[in-house]
Amino acid sequence: MDMLATLTVDKPVVIFSKSTCCMSHTVKALISSFGANPAIIEVDKMPNGHQVERALLQLGCRPSVPAVFIGQQFIGGADEVISLNVQNKLAQLLLRARAIFLWSR
């Protein structure tokens, strides 16, 4: 877990992704559509990517990617992020984390 904390510290939004994962691409596009500029960590391109994936699995992210952290809090994977968006709660999380500064429906 310390590895994940190190990778997410001081970043409003972090998305752990794989470069070939279509759901990771979808989550990146959704969060970016709010005007946020998430930090993207492509675990399949990291030398220690397997360790990062193991840490994500231990955190409860199944599958391991996409895994989204907003305000250093683990939010979940694609299902959770899309659900928050449908419930109109994603923008509020992004605002609180200072990933975006203005939002109106």
User: Does residue 1 have a pLDDT over 70?
Assistant: no
User: Does residue 47 have a pLDDT over 90?
Assistant: yes
Percent over 70 (pLDDT), the chain: 97
Least confident of 9-18, 59-68, 74-83: 59-68
Mean pLDDT in the chain?
A: 93
Answer yes or no: pTM beyond 0.75. Answer: yes
Q: For residue 10, give Cα distances in angstroms to 33, 45, 58.
A: 21, 22, 22
Angle, vertex CA 94, rays to CA 91 and CA 100, nearest 5: 95
User: Does residue 103 have a pLDDT over 60?
Assistant: yes
User: Does residue 79 have a pLDDT over 60?
Assistant: yes
Percent over 90 (pLDDT), the chain: 84
97, with CB counted inside 10 A (0-12, 13-18, 19+), is middle
**Band of the pLDDT at 105, cuts 50, 70, 90?**
low
Q: Mean per-residue pLDDT for 8-15?
A: 95
Q: For residues 86 and 48, what is the distance between their CA atoms, to the nearest angstrom?
A: 34
- Residue pair 14/8 in contact (Cβ under 8 Å)? The answer is yes
